[in-house]
Chains A and B, each alone.
Chain A
Amino acid sequence: MTPNFAVLALLDGIAYASLLFLVAVGLTLVFGVLGILNIAHGSLYAIGAYVAATLGQWLVANGYNPWLTFPALFAGATVVGIALGGMLERFLLQRIYKKDEVLQLLVTFAVFMILENLQRMIWGVQPYFMSTPLNLLGNISFLGINYTAYQVLFLPAAAIVVLFALRHFLRHTAIGAQILAVTEDREAATSIGINATRVYFMTFVIGACFAALGGALATPTTSLVTGMGANMIVLSFAVAATAGLGQIEGAAVSALMIGVARAFAVYLSPELEVIMPYLIMVLVLLVKPNGLFGKDTARKI
């Protein structure tokens, strides 16, 4: 492997890790607070991508300023996160919080299957492209390697902003403190007047927005195909489990580990690419069953 390839693999890895983190952090936040492992998180990722692509294509086709595709990515993600995520929580999850974990898993899996087919009905099975934002930002040169600025600058920047904003929100704001309180002890939180139902709703919508944002920001870098949601939910679960479920900062580290390892596998031994994330997950969990940053009982998020 030449140094050039190493740099290329590293950049690939960082770009991919940024998207992985966005999705995984939503999954882990929802699990940490609500205790539900939401398989339909993958659907929110895919639908976020499709909606952002559709919106972007429409803007370009109608002759609007192509730079508007950037806000379109965020707008699409937010709409999907709030509308679809909000409905899921309000009409479905709220009824099953007290039920068995296996049932919760099955319900979110069923939602995932339904949404998967809904995507096929709406967007068909042909691949979608919407690379305008990628083209607009152009290429930059890094250690002699040309790479798209969108992937090596914009995506990591978005991931870092999300990481620090979420950290700040949870640790330093009044609402964040309410979320932490409900996570630690729902009954005690209720006894000081916190509306736990509303906290759950809000947390789920935030997590859903991150999934949809991951999808929307992935749109310019890849063609959207059916089954992308399934790939992503499995991968982001691997990231969350490697970090320790509920670990937000940990998800960033393990997304980076898995993203970079996967990219190197592509160059070194492509046949390992698919199993690389799970290999890392298994190795980590063998040594640390609660994940890299997971604790037995302490803080859940």
Chain B
Amino acid sequence: MSDYSASPLLLQAEGLKLRFGGIIAADGIDLSLHEGEHLAIIGPNGAGKTTFLNICTGYLRPQGGSVRFENREITAQPPRQITRLGIARAFQIPQLFAEQTVLENMLLAVSVRERHWNPLRNLHAVPERREMEGLLELVGCSDVRDRVASELPEGKRKLADIAIALALKPRVLLMDEPTSGVASADKFDVMETLMNALRQAKVSSVFVEHDMEMVSRYATRVAVWAQGKIQTTGAPEVVLNDPDVVRNVIGG
């Protein structure tokens, strides 16, 4: 497994603290992401992994600590601002706009990115249409381009959701269980397509994952999140064979 610590630092969380009532989600989280990395976060349910994604995208304000993106403080900035800086997000349940076609979803995203404010411009006439069709090709969704989002099979919905995130030209993509809900026979196909698309678009990623097979195949680094702390971090082949991790997280 190659070492990315020499490549530029993209995302850096330091000392994040957040508790909800009696539940401690984050109790001094330090986590960083370098360019080219695909960091998997694993850990027991309810440990705060999704909370981390929510803090990085500005939906939750940490009670302590900070998040920096490309050396710029983004803690508790508005989500929209953070999206514009280059952090995109894919949700556990894809957030496609249900009654629009896949292509229209893409065109909407790109017209927001390019700040198309001409109220008379037809959505289908935006100059980036070709670029969007290319992205759909990249994630293998060209065949469902003109289908209404709510009718798609789950695997395609996941991939279309990733394409929309990529339409925003992010540097980092945060994903919450990218293949959850996809039939198990298709999971690895979907993940393979997804990761290929990220590599080609040169987008680094952080993903929350429960499937250890997925983690060992696709993560360049793993962080174990439990009791509000990062218990350990390192290459998948090392972390996933760590007896402590096996006993506490994987073995359950």
Interface residues of A (CB under 8 A from B): 169, 172-178, 180-181, 184-185, 187-188, 190-196, 298-299
Contact = CB atoms under 8 A, between A and B. Distances in A.
A243 B97 CA distance: 24
B97 A184 contact: yes
Nearest to A182: B97
B98 interface: yes
A181 B120 contact: no
7 contacts: A172-B123, A177-B100, A187-B59, A191-B89, A191-B95, A193-B83, A193-B112
B107 A174 contact: yes
Contacts of A196: 80
Q: Which of A175, A184, A191, A299 counts the most B-chain CB atoms under 10 A from its CB?
A: A191
A192 B107 contact: no
Contact of A177 (B98, B123, B164): B123
B57 interface: yes
Given A174-B111, A177-B104, A180-B100, 15 more contacts: A172-B124, A173-B121, A174-B108, A174-B121, A177-B108, A178-B112, A181-B97, A187-B79, A188-B95, A190-B80, A191-B79, A191-B95, A192-B108, A193-B109, A195-B80
A191 B83 contact: yes
B16 interface: no
A173 B120 contact: yes
Contacts of A169: 119
Contacts of A299: 99
Interface string B90-134: 010001011110001001110111001111111110100000000
B122 A193 contact: no
A181 B91 CA distance: 16
B111 to A, nearest CB: 4
A177 B121 CA distance: 11
Interface of B: 57, 59, 79-80, 83-84, 88-89, 91, 95, 97-100, 104, 107-109, 111-113, 116-124, 126, 164-165, 167-168
Contacts, number: 80
Contacts of A191: 57, 79, 83, 88-89, 91, 95
A178 B108 contact: yes
Nearest to A171: B123
Given A172-B123, A188-B95, A193-B168, A177 B111 contact: yes
Contacts of B120: 173
Q: Which of B79, B80, B111, B126 counts the most A-chain CB atoms under 10 A from its CB?
A: B80
Contacts of A190: 79-80, 83
Contacts of B104: 177
Nearest to B98: A184
Nearest to B89: A191
Given A180-B100, A191-B79, A192-B108, A173 B95 contact: no
Contacts of B126: 174
A193 B126 CA distance: 17
A102 B243 CA distance: 57
A275 to B, nearest CB: 37
B161 to A, nearest CB: 10
Contacts of B116: 174
A172 B122 CA distance: 6
Q: Which of B119, B121, B126, B164 counts the most A-chain CB atoms under 10 A from its CB?
A: B119
Contacts of B167: 192
Contacts of B123: 172-174, 176-177
Contacts of B100: 177, 180
Given A177-B111, A193-B112, A193-B113, A188 B97 contact: yes
A185 B108 CA distance: 14
A178 B112 CA distance: 8
Contacts of B122: 172-174
Nearest to A169: B119
B118 A174 contact: yes
A199 B59 CA distance: 19
Contacts of B119: 169, 173, 175
A175 B117 contact: yes
A269 B57 CA distance: 63
Contacts of B83: 190-193
Nearest to B116: A174
A180 B97 CA distance: 8
B168 to A, nearest CB: 6
A146 to B, nearest CB: 40
B17 to A, nearest CB: 24
A181 B99 contact: no
Contacts of B109: 192-193
Contacts of B165: 192
B112 A192 contact: yes
A299 B48 CA distance: 33
Contact of B112 (A176, A185, A194, A298): A194
